[in-house]
Amino acid sequence: MTMDTPPPAGEPDDSTSAGTIGDSGYTLEDLSDYSDRGREPAIPAIDDNAECQSVLASIERVGALSRDLVAKEATDHPALDESWFGSLFAAISSEAKAGRDIPLSSPDPRTRLSITEGAVRELVRAAGDGVDGALVGRCQLHGDLDGAGSGIRVELSISVLLGAPVHEVAALVRQRVYSELLAHTELAVEAVDVTVADVHVIPNPQGGTE
């Protein structure tokens, strides 16, 4: 089974695999290497940077699965388009950019509370990836994020584990994303649109596939 439809890399952005994460000066490759080293020796400029930490979390969440898939497909299906994961991580890098501040209400006029656009996108991605059998390819937020209480639409593309109940997985992703946005933002979520763009397999220890 191949994953032959790479997820789009997201909206045009300067935070792609060819550039640095946000304006941190570190590339996706740098962070991947840092993760591979077990984040040792510690680099405070990465550890203290929210955008880098967001990308590292995604790398570590998806990394094991991607290595398994690439190894399996390299053996059984040489035609695997490995760029799928490259595009996935490019999308993650792009989405990690802090972006706009989304207001949270504050009773004190001298106090501004907000959650970053990047934090919301990471929240959505983690909620989707947390559903068994789902892997988020791309996440986009549409609508006015700048005004508290404004309506937004969330658009997700996901890959579903081969054999998993597609409708149920998509519905669960939609439900979890909605719940997380309700808990952590004050956005009025008008819709969570989930598109199943791919299927994937996971090799089992006996050499077959699940």
Partner 1 sequence: MSDDELAILIETAVRGVDGVATVYSALPPLARSARQLTAGTATLPLVALARKGGLLTVTVNVGVSAPQAPATASAAAIAVRTVLDAAGIPDAEVAIRVSRVHD
**Interacting residue ranges for partner 1, rule: CB under 8 A:** 22-25, 45, 48-51, 53-54, 57, 98, 101, 104-106, 108, 110-116, 118-119, 122-123, 126, 130, 180, 183-186
Asked if residues 19 and 97 have their Cβ atoms less than 8 Å apart, the reply is: no
Q: Which one, 122 or 198, has the nearer CB to partner 1?
A: 122
Nearer to partner 1, 92 or 201 (CB): 92
Buried b / exposed e over 116-144, threshold 16 CB at 10 Å, is bbbbbbbbbbbbbbebebbbbbbbbbebe
d(CA 20, CA 202): 31
75/106 with CB nearer partner 1: 106
Tokens of 126: 């983690």
- CA dist list (Å): 176 to 14, 56, 92, 171, 201: 30, 22, 19, 9, 23
Q: Which is nearer to partner 1, 81 or 180 (CB)?
A: 180
Least gap, CB of 201 to partner 1 (angstroms): 25
Q: How far is CA 102 from CA 125, 127, 149, 152, in A?
A: 17, 19, 10, 12
Minimum separation from the CB atom of position 93 to partner 1 (A) = 15
Min dist CB 52 to partner 1, Å, is 9
Q: What is the distance between the terminal CA atoms of the chain, rounded to a whole angstrom?
A: 11
Minimum CB separation from partner 1 for residue 156, in Å? 17
> Residue 149 Cβ, how far from partner 1 at the closest point, in Å?
12
Question: Which phi and psi angles does 26 have, rounded to 5°?
Answer: -105, 135
Residue placing its CB nearer to partner 1 in the complex, 13 or 186: 186
